[in-house]
Chains A and B, each alone.
Chain A
Amino acid sequence: MDSVTAGMGNGAWIVAALAGATLITRFLPFLLFPAGREIPKYVEYLGKTLPYATIGLLVVYCLKDVQVSGAFHGLPEMIAVSVTVGLHWWKGNSLFSIGVGTVVYMVLVQRVFV
């Protein structure tokens, strides 16, 4: 019982540590460049280019565990991403593209590539 209580105490500190670390990464840019101060040209430039690069990074982040050398060579992901991009290029309706893309992927991994 004592060790369990100690474990929960440490657990609470871990939660606090994770909350603190997250607060720092989210607030730091705004603390460094508060509303009153002029944003340096270089940071302004980053603010205009980083969003594009970061979404690219997030797409890769979501697909990072796909095994190209695995049994299906990442085919379900490739198909579902292509469908999503294709639909979105054609119709431009986010919900439609995401919904159909997700259903296609679910059918692929549940029924086709098993």
Chain B
Amino acid sequence: MRKKAALALGYAFPKTIPVMVGYLFLGTAYGILMKVNGYGIFWALAMSLFVYAGSLQYMGVTLLTAAVSPIYAFFMGLMINARHLFYGISMLGTYRDLKRFKPYLIFALTDETFSVLCSENVPRAIEREWVYLWVSVLDQCYWVLGSILGSVLGGMIVFDTKGLDFALTALFVVIFTDQWKSRRDHRPALVGVASSVACVIVFGAQAFIIPAMVVILAVLSLWYRRWENGSRKNGKEAGKNG
């Protein structure tokens, strides 16, 4: 068992390095932001341990300083995190037969952890549940560590970090490229980009996520019947598309 865990750690760690760069940076920035708004290390820790959702935590700084009602904060949280529903649906199959770590794996399914795990094909020799666990645990460690660093360091950053947060953008771009190369049918990827861009233009950068999700769901659902018919008529063809 210990050997299994170690083997999986060796396999999982390199995959989390881009997330490490991004999370340490964004986590530190978050810790600093909390600190300068009067919320020290315990608040930052509580958020990074129990909420553990980057964009919502950033939004949370505003919610805390404005002292909004918890009910308002709750609905805000549902809206901003609604995209997690997509991750869950996407991972239903992958996480289906997992036993020991499933609750934590679901809890820790952030944008970045999802992006690393959703197109991950673990080799047979390595136990995949351990790989999922290590990726999830390491990612949260980076995030928590960053938050602590930010709270402690305050504004003492010595080198110009402007642009370092591009690491996360690059991570998503790389996964997008990988997915593009590994799949013949590019329509789902194109629908994702096109709907999102259209919704940014129509609804603005701050409000585009929910409309974009609705449009993506609508377009994919329109294609569902064709996909279903195709898979009934011709099993081989469906295998290719799936």
Chain A contacts to B: CB under 8 angstroms: 7, 10-11, 13-30, 33, 35, 39, 41-65, 76-77, 80-81, 84-85, 88-89, 92, 94-95, 97-98, 101-102, 105-106, 108-110
Question: Which segment, of B2-10, B73-81, B123-131, B144-152, faces chain A?
Answer: B73-81
Decide: B167 and A98 in contact? CB cutoff 8 A: yes
- Confirm or deny: B122 has a beta carbon within 8 angstroms of a beta carbon on chain A: no
Decide: B84 and A22 in contact? CB cutoff 8 A: yes
Residue of B nearest to A11 (CB): B64
Lowest 8 A-B CB distances belong to which pairs? A56-B192, A21-B77, A29-B88, A53-B192, A60-B196, A52-B188, A106-B163, A13-B70
Q: Which residues of A contact B178 (CB under 8 A)?
A: 88, 92, 94
| Number of residue pairs A-B, CB distance < 8 angstroms | 259
With A15-B51, A29-B85, A88-B177 as contacts: A58 and B172 at CB distance below 8 Å: yes
With A15-B46, A26-B109, A59-B173 as contacts: A51 and B118 at CB distance below 8 Å: yes
- Complex A-B: 12 CB contacts under 8 Å: A14-B64, A18-B53, A18-B77, A21-B74, A21-B76, A29-B89, A35-B96, A35-B97, A42-B224, A54-B90, A89-B181, A110-B160
- Confirm or deny: B11 has a beta carbon within 8 angstroms of a beta carbon on chain A: no
User: In the bound complex, how far is the Cα of B92 from the Cα of A43, in angstroms?
Assistant: 9
User: In the bound complex, how far is the Cα of B175 from the Cα of A88, in angstroms?
Assistant: 10
Chain B contacts to A: CB under 8 angstroms: 14-15, 17-18, 21, 39, 43, 46-47, 50-53, 56-57, 60, 63-64, 67-68, 70-71, 73-78, 81-93, 95-97, 102, 106-107, 109, 111, 114-115, 118-119, 160, 162-164, 166-179, 181, 183, 188-193, 195-197, 200, 205, 208-209, 212-213, 216-217, 220-221, 223-224, 227-228, 242
Decide: B163 and A94 in contact? CB cutoff 8 A: no
Q: Which residues of A contact B77 (CB under 8 A)?
A: 17-18, 20-22, 25
Residue of A nearest to B63 (CB): A14
Decide: B68 and A14 in contact? CB cutoff 8 A: yes
Chain B nearest Cβ from A71, distance in angstroms: 16
Decide: A89 and B53 in contact? CB cutoff 8 A: no
With A10-B70, A59-B169, A84-B174 as contacts: A53 and B92 at CB distance below 8 Å: no
Decide: A102 and B163 in contact? CB cutoff 8 A: yes
Decide: A56 and B170 in contact? CB cutoff 8 A: no
User: In the bound complex, how far is the Cα of B178 from the Cα of A98, in angstroms?
Assistant: 13
User: In the bound complex, how far is the Cα of B166 from the Cα of A63, in angstroms?
Assistant: 9
Decide: A53 and B220 in contact? CB cutoff 8 A: yes
